Amino acid sequence: MKFLRYPGGKSKLLSYLVNHLPKNKDIKGTYIEPFVGGGSVFFHINPDKALVSDLNPELISLYKGIKLYPHKVWETFESFPSGKIAYYDIRNKGTEGKHLHYKAARTLYLNRTCFKGMWRHNSNGDFNVGYGGEERRWVITHQNIVELSKTFRKAEILNNDFEDVILNASKNDFIFLDPPYKPGEKDLHELHYRNGKFLFDEQVRLAETLKSLPKSKRIRWAMTNSSHKDILSLYEGFHIKKIPFGTSDKPGIQTKSSNEVLITNY
């Protein structure tokens, strides 16, 4: 079940990715995901011990809310009225002074009913995507939220910058990284995220952080990224595989390139 609509979601590439990532039983340390976003890889691996983080504060409140208060989140989500008027009312009221379970339920409600699942905010940081309809609201159930809560209870959830998360990794941890990028994009811009752009200097900072991990810690990492030559030049000496396009729809048929790569240090 894909419970969240999220830009850059990796669910379409999952069938390819999972063949190149360790399974839960093969991760001796902690599974770490510093750009967790919609979390498709994290949910698939369902690690026994995890640390997930993202700079998007609404996303992290959603995950923490589900982890701690699955029933209250569901009850509040269920109680929000249907329709355009209710949507704008709940959206415009914001979350000031609200409890974590309300924030989580509101984010889930807006995500399931907004236009095309977009995440866009105005300059004040307020969510400003228009109404999209109720068709996708009820694909999630109370039981789904309870199951998600069980997965999150095995994870520490942080709202930190990636550098901080990566540098705190310990011996034998595994890090999966899915930084913001647009496949093949020339300017390496990404405008859809809560925190604006992730430009090339951020890509450089990411590569330097990964390269600074001491070899003695035996930390393995894998990253999806654009196949843009400037990105590839940051990872000379690592293992780089082109991700084939369309593997999940037509298993075994790999026709076009996706302009995305999987880079690993193992």
- 195 binding ligand SAM? (CB under 6 A): yes
Q: Indicate which single residue of 17, 52, 55, 262 sits in contact with ligand SAM (rule: CB under 6 A).
A: 55
Per DSSP (E only), the strands in the chain are 31-33, 50-53, 155-158, 174-177, 220-226, 239-244, 257-264
Residue 238 sits at φ, ψ, to 5 deg, of -100, 175
In three state form, how does the secondary structure of 202-220 look? HHHHHHHHHHCCCHHHCCE
State the nearest-atom distance from the C-beta of 148 to ligand SAM, in Å: 14
How big, in percent rounded to 5, are the helix, strand and coil portions of the chain? 40, 15, 45
Q: Which of the ranges 54-62, 78-86, 92-100, 167-175 carries the binding residues for ligand SAM, by CB under 6 A?
A: 54-62
CA–CA dist 4, 6 (Å, integer): 6
Report how far apart, in Å, the C-alpha atoms of 74 and of each of 4, 19, 109, 127, 197 are: 14, 34, 10, 21, 33
State the nearest-atom distance from the C-beta of 79 to ligand SAM, in Å: 27
Residue 182 sits at φ, ψ, to 5 deg, of -110, 125
Nearer to ligand SAM, 70 or 180 (CB): 180
Nearer to ligand SAM, 67 or 182 (CB): 182
- 173 binding ligand SAM? (CB under 6 A): no
- 198 binding ligand SAM? (CB under 6 A): yes
Nearer to ligand SAM, 86 or 189 (CB): 189
Q: How many residues make contact with ligand SAM (CB under 6 A)?
A: 22
- 56 binding ligand SAM? (CB under 6 A): yes
Nearer to ligand SAM, 79 or 123 (CB): 123
CA–CA dist 63, 152 (Å, integer): 7
State the nearest-atom distance from the C-beta of 85 to ligand SAM, in Å: 30
**Per-residue binding letters, 19-48, with ligand SAM (x by CB under 6 A):** ---------------xx-xx-xx-------
- 194 binding ligand SAM? (CB under 6 A): yes
How many helices (H) and strands (E) the chain has is answered by 10, 7
Distance of CA 114 to the CA centre of its chain: 18
- 58 binding ligand SAM? (CB under 6 A): no
Nearer to ligand SAM, 86 or 163 (CB): 163
CA–CA dist 97, 56 (Å, integer): 19
Residues of the shown chain interacting with ligand SAM in the complex, contacts defined by CB under 6 A: 6, 8-10, 34-35, 37-38, 40-41, 54-56, 161-162, 178-180, 193-195, 198
